[in-house]
Chains A and B, each alone.
Chain A
């Protein structure tokens, strides 16, 4: 049973466009929803995160939208740049600190 479902698997966006990646979860015990960014040959690194008591969090060009009733959250990358080309993982944590990851989205931003 996959607890966190992520889509799309891959995404191609033109420079300056908006990239949108979606995730859905089942376990209502999750209480922390981070997004990680991973470049080839590197480990994932935290990009932005949200807790379920807010519906949106914005950091620069990156925004998380969170819909608690639908058990869905999404990452929006505004004004996408070639340097944003990477693999993005959504995750969901329990209060015990364990992270369950989505399968990842490979983003390519074309110049």
Chain B
């Protein structure tokens, strides 16, 4: 299996621009998670989906952030407009209900820099 695939690996953009991060979960996994990692706040859960439906988006910081999962094999996290404080590593992870105990499989992350 190819694992969780995220793109791009690095993104540099200017303040005010729209940013779209992409994720392809592991085939057969029905839960997908977006995490953000910063030095100050560590790993924070932004949103997670179960069977393509958003279950908990309480971690989404502002209305500038939105996430979609149009089908079981693709999800996007969009930031519009982006701000320098959004600079972080964004991880996508997936898991299967057939795997007990919340074992997550992570992608390699997207390093976002907003100038």
Q: Do A and B bind each other?
A: no
B residues apposed to A, CB below 8 Å: none
